[in-house]
Amino acid sequence: MAETALKAKKPGTTTTAEAQQELTDGFHLVIDALKLNGLNTIYGVPGIPITDFGRMAQAAGIRVISFRHEQNAGNAAAIAGFLTKKPGICLTVSAPGFLNGLTALANATTNCFPMILISGSSEREIVDLQQGDYEEMDQLAIAKPLCKAAFRVLHAADIGIGVARAIRAAVSGRPGGVYLDLPAKLFSQVMDAEAGAKSLVKVIDPAPAQLPAPAAVKRALDVLKGAKRPLIILGKGAAYAQADDAIRALIEKSGVPFLPMSMAKGLLPDTHPLCAGAARSTVLKDADVVMMIGARLNWLLSHGKGKTWGEPGSKKFIQIDIEPKEMDSNVEIVAPVVGDIGSCISALLEGMGSKWPAAPADWISAVNTRKEENIAKMSSKLMKNSAPMDFHSALGALRTVIKERPDVILVNEGANTLDLARGVIDMYQPRKRLDVGTWGVMGIGMGFAVGAAVETGKSVLAVEGDSAFGFSGMEVETICRYNLPVCIVVFNNNGIYRGTDVNPTGGSDPATTVFVKDARYDKIMEGFGGVGVHVTTPDELSRAVNKAIDSRKPTLINAAIDPAAGSESGRIGNLNPQSVVRKK
C-alpha cells in the first residue's frame, strides 16, 4: 500500500508519479501533536534514537532543555506538571536512559504530578524475540506497573491518538505519570502529510471538572458544623488544583484553623491568623473533626492514627479528593467528598450560605496560645550570627530573604536541611515551595529548580543538604548553560546527617556517612562560569543570596555548617532501624 511505497523517501520529497503529494513522518507528527496541545517545552537527554527528534523539536519552536542525566530531566518535567496542570514532557533514549527517567515518572505518579515520559525504544521484532538488539528492553512492560498508564505507538497514523491518550491519562482524575513508547522505526515512518495532519487530536477538556454529589457536600458540612475543635489540612493536591481564592474563602468563612502540608505552604500565608503550622502537634492531637483537602493520610500524617492523633476514636475525618479509592485508605472517612477541589470547595461554600457559625472561640484561643509559645521558642534560635553556623541560624537568614521576596520559588531537599527549613521558612504565596514530596526522595533538587525557573521565569532558591545536592549536582552545568536564575545554597556539614562519624574499625576508609571535609561546592559552579561563594556566617549568607537573586545569575553558595549539627535522618529517625546488637 501507499505507506510502503513512500517509506524510502525523505519527507517533503515527491516524484513525478506522485506529483503534488506532500509527505510527513513520525518525527514531525509527534512534534505537531505536542504543539497542537500546547506542550511547548521538552526536558530530556539526547541520544539514540531521539537525537534528531530533539533537534527538530527545537527547530519547530519547542523549548528543548537538555540535561546531563534523565532523572533530573524527568523531575523537571514532573514539577512543570505540578506548576502548570499540563503534563510535563520528558524525553529519553532507550533502555538505560528510559530507566533513569522512570524513577522520576514513578515519583511523579506517587506525588500525583502529571507528566509524560517519552522514550525511544529498539526494534520490536528483535526485542520480543530477545535477539539482543542495541539497548534491548521491553520498556512498555517495565513502565506499566510504575505509572498511571503506558502506551506504545507503532504506526505514524496513530501518533495523534497516542499523544491524546497520554495527555488525558496524565491530567484527568488523579493526575500522574504516563509512559509513551516510541520505537525508533516510528520516527522515520512516512505518510501523506494531509492525512497526517488530520490524524492529530487537539484534546478537548483534558481534565474535566468532577462535581461532588450534593448529598456528600451536605454530609460534610453537617460534620464540620458539629465540630468543637475543627481543623483543615491542606495538601499539595489543593495547591495543584489552583483553586486558591476559593480555598482561602472557605477557611476564612469557616474560621477553622488550617495546617498546610509541606508543598501546600503558602496557599494561604504561613503568617495568616488561622495558620496552625506552629501548633502542629497540638492541633493534630486535639482536633475532633479534620477536613482533608487534597492531602492523604499516609506516613507523612502517621496514617491518621497513633499517638500523633491523640485518643483512638477521638476524630472524625472529612476528605475532599478526586480519587474515590483514597477514601478509607487508612482510617474511616465519615464524610467523603469526591470531586475536583475547585468544584468541591465551591459547592461547600455555597452550602455554607451566609450564616455559618464562627469556629468555637475556646479552640481558637487554645491554638493561638500554643502557636505563640512555639514561635517565641523558635525565634531566639534563628537570630544567632555565629560561625560555624548551625541549621537554625543559617535558615533564619533564608527565612528573612523569603519574607522580603515572597515570589521566589523555594526548592528544598536534604534531611535536617529539609525538616528544619520546612518549619523555619514561612511561605507567602501558593506553589512556591517544592520539595521531596510523598516519597521523601533525595535528588529532585536541580531538576525541580530548572523546571521551576523555565516554567515560571521566576528566581529559584534551592536549599540543599550537601548529600541531597550530590544526587543532581552535575546539572549546575545545565543551569549555567541556559543561564537560569537559580541560586543554590548547599548546607555543607561534611556528611549525611552529620560530618563527624568515624570508621569503627579505625581503618583508613572514612565512615559511611561522611564526605570530603570542608569541600568547596562553590567551585563546581565557578567551573561552568556561574558565581560561587563560600560563606561561614548568616550575615554573609543573606548578603550572598540577595545578591544572587538580584543579579539572576546562576549562583552556588557553599554554606559551612557545624559538622556536629544535625540529627540522624532529620525528623524521621524513627523510620531508620538501628541495631541494638553490635558484634565486636
Give the shortest CB-444-to-Mg ion separation in angstroms.
16
Count of residues near Mg ion by CB under 5 A: 3
Give the binding range for ligand ADP (CB under 6 A) out of 59-67, 117-125, 322-330, 352-360: 322-330
Give the binding range for Mg ion (CB under 5 A) out of 128-136, 315-323, 404-412, 490-498: 490-498
| Binding mask of the shown chain, residues 438 to 457, with x at each position contacting ligand ADP by CB under 6 A | x-------------------
Does residue 341 touch ligand ADP according to CB under 6 A? yes
Give the binding range for Mg ion (CB under 5 A) out of 237-245, 269-277, 491-499, 550-558: 491-499
- Pick from 88, 97, 183, 237: which binds ligand ADP (CB under 6 A)? 237
Give the shortest CB-517-to-Mg ion separation in angstroms.
12
User: Residues of 345-384 as b/e, b for ≥16 C-beta within 10 angstroms?
Assistant: bbbbbeebeeeeeebeeebbebbbebbeebeeeeeeebee
Per-residue 3-state assignment (H helix, E strand, C coil) for 296-316: CCCHHHHHHCCHHHCCCCCCE
Which runs of E-coded beta strand occur in 147-196? 149-152, 177-183, 190-192
Give the binding range for ligand ADP (CB under 6 A) out of 119-127, 183-191, 234-242, 398-406: 234-242
**Footprint of ligand ADP on 459-518 (CB under 6 A):** none
Place of cell 548578603: 543
Does residue 321 touch ligand ADP according to CB under 6 A? yes
Of 146, 301, 317, the residue nearest 235 (C-alpha): 301
**Footprint of ligand ADP on 147-206 (CB under 6 A):** 174-175
| Binding mask of the shown chain, residues 521 to 560, with x at each position contacting ligand ADP by CB under 6 A | ----------------------------------------
**Footprint of Mg ion on 259-298 (CB under 5 A):** none
Count the neighbouring beta carbons within 10 Å of the beta carbon of residue 89.
Answer: 29
For residue 134, how many C-alpha atoms fall within 13 Å in the half-sphere facing its CB?
11
Give kind and range of the element (H or E) at residue 90: strand 88-92
Kindly report the CA angle at 119 between 114 and 123, in degrees rounded to 5? 145
- Pick from 118, 203, 231, 264: which binds ligand ADP (CB under 6 A)? 264
Does residue 367 touch ligand ADP according to CB under 6 A? no
Residues whose CB falls within 8 Å of the CB of residue 505, separated by 6 or more in sequence, listed in order: none
Of all residues in the shown chain, the one whose CB is closest to ligand ADP is 237
Place of cell 568547596: 520
Give the binding range for Mg ion (CB under 5 A) out of 29-37, 254-262, 488-496, 520-528: 488-496
- Secondary structure (3-state) at 67: coil
Burial class (CB in 10 A: 0-12, 13-18, 19+), 416: buried
- Indicate the residue type of 170: A
Count the neighbouring beta carbons within 10 Å of the beta carbon of residue 300.
Answer: 15
Nearest 10 degrees: Cα torsion 111, 112, 116, 121: 60
Does residue 240 touch ligand ADP according to CB under 6 A? yes
Does residue 336 touch ligand ADP according to CB under 6 A? no
- Pick from 244, 323, 526, 568: which binds ligand ADP (CB under 6 A)? 323
Q: Helix, strand, coil: what percent of the chain each, to 5?
A: 45, 15, 40
Give the shortest CB-233-to-ligand ADP separation in angstroms.
7
Does residue 236 touch ligand ADP according to CB under 6 A? yes
Give the shortest CB-93-to-ligand ADP separation in angstroms.
30
Report the alpha-carbon distance of residue 486 to residue 464 in Å, rounded.
12
- Pick from 493, 542, 555, 558: which binds Mg ion (CB under 5 A)? 493
Does residue 327 touch ligand ADP according to CB under 6 A? no
**Partner whose binding site includes residue 364, from Mg ion, ligand ADP, none (CB under 5 to 8 Å by kind):** none
Count the neighbouring beta carbons within 10 Å of the beta carbon of residue 509.
Answer: 7
Place of cell 540522624: 568
Count of residues near ligand ADP by CB under 6 A: 24
The dihedral sign for the CA sequence 420, 423, 427, 430: positive
Specify whether the CB–CB gap between 187 and 159 falls below 8 A.
Answer: no
**Footprint of ligand ADP on 75-114 (CB under 6 A):** 111-112
Does residue 412 touch Mg ion according to CB under 5 A? no
Q: Is the peptide bond before 554 cis (omega within 30 degrees of 0)?
A: no
Which CB sits closer to Mg ion, 249 or 511? 511
Give the shortest CB-398-to-Mg ion separation in angstroms.
16
Give the shortest CB-574-to-ligand ADP separation in angstroms.
18
Nearest 10 degrees: Cα torsion 258, 260, 264, 270: 80
**Footprint of ligand ADP on 294-313 (CB under 6 A):** 294-296, 298, 300
Does residue 92 touch Mg ion according to CB under 5 A? no
Residues found near ligand ADP in the complex (CB under 6 A): 111-112, 174-175, 235-237, 240-241, 261, 263-264, 294-296, 298, 300, 321-323, 326, 340-341, 438
Residues found near Mg ion in the complex (CB under 5 A): 465-466, 493
